[in-house]
Amino acid sequence: MIRINLLPKNLRKKVEPGWWRLIAVALPAVAVLIIVSIQLSASNEQSRLNNELENTRTELDRLRPALLERNRLNAKQAELQVIVSVDQALRAGNQPWSTDLARFTRRIPQSGSTPVIALNTLSMQAVNPGDTSSTPSVGYDGKTIRRTFTLQGRAASSAALVNFVSTFERSSDFGVQFQNAQREEDTGDYIFSVSIGMADPTAATPATPAAPTGTAPSAPAAPAAPEGGS
């Protein structure tokens, strides 16, 4: 059967497609789903961060005693370093005068029970290796010294005087700066003056120049004794 709508166009009922209704319902639902998903993701992330923060606080509380102990030990180490530095400085400046004097006197040559060297005056002086304003620290047979012995003495003979000076020249612990000597006519003894330096054991030993090929190095010459010696 065929139906014919004879109504005017303005009175006719319009039949529109229904897909727009589906869109109108679906769009809000999709928006709600997106918002819920974002909220769930943010909530999960916040929960994870909260858990990590709580774990960090727990670990910090667990490690706090160890951190306090480490800080205490670091402070103690700094105090000990200061004490050690002061102790080293004091040890460096504390030179054993009696020990050095004993080392010096043991080097004086003896000839049986009769002394061949007698010391009239003896003075000791500490030398600062970095201070050359008064007594030079280098120059005693090329050795760096830390103490000087300035003495005047009497030798029973020229041989005794030469032996005395040579003994300290040959020693690695001492260096010599011979000053003067004169013979007494009435006794035949030699009155001499000499400065002896005690080498610094911490200083590097100066290198000995190499002798020419085929030539033996010459021994250091002993100070010449005045004429007329016995």
pLDDT of residue 161: 93
Contact present, 219 and 162 (Cβ < 8 Å): no
pLDDT of residue 5: 57
Buried b / exposed e over 130-147, threshold 16 CB at 10 Å, is eeeeebbbbebbebbbbb
- The two three-digit tokens of residue 37, written as one number: 């998903």
pLDDT tens sequence across 131-158 = 555 555 566 878 888 889 999 999 999 9
Contact present, 169 and 142 (Cβ < 8 Å): no
Q: Is the pLDDT of residue 194 over 90?
A: yes
Q: Confirm whether 78 is domain-assigned.
A: no
Number of domains in the chain: 1
Q: Confirm whether 15 is domain-assigned.
A: no
Q: Confirm whether 188 is domain-assigned.
A: yes
Instruction: Kindly report whether the global pTM for this prediction surpasses the value 0.75.
Output: no
| Residue ranges making up the domain that contains 169 | 112-199
Higher per-residue pLDDT: 36 or 192 = 192
Q: Confirm whether 214 is domain-assigned.
A: no
Q: Work out the pLDDT band at 229, boundaries 50, 70, 90.
A: very low
Least confident of 62-71, 87-96, 217-226: 217-226
Q: What is the Cα Rg of the chain in Å?
A: 51
DSSP state of 111: B
Q: Confirm whether 143 is domain-assigned.
A: yes
pLDDT tens sequence across 34-89 = 888 888 888 888 888 988 998 988 888 888 888 888 888 988 888 888 787 766 66
The CATH code of the domain that includes 180 is: 3.30.70.2830
Q: Is 177 buried (19+), middle (13-18) or exposed (0-12) by CB count in 10 A?
A: middle
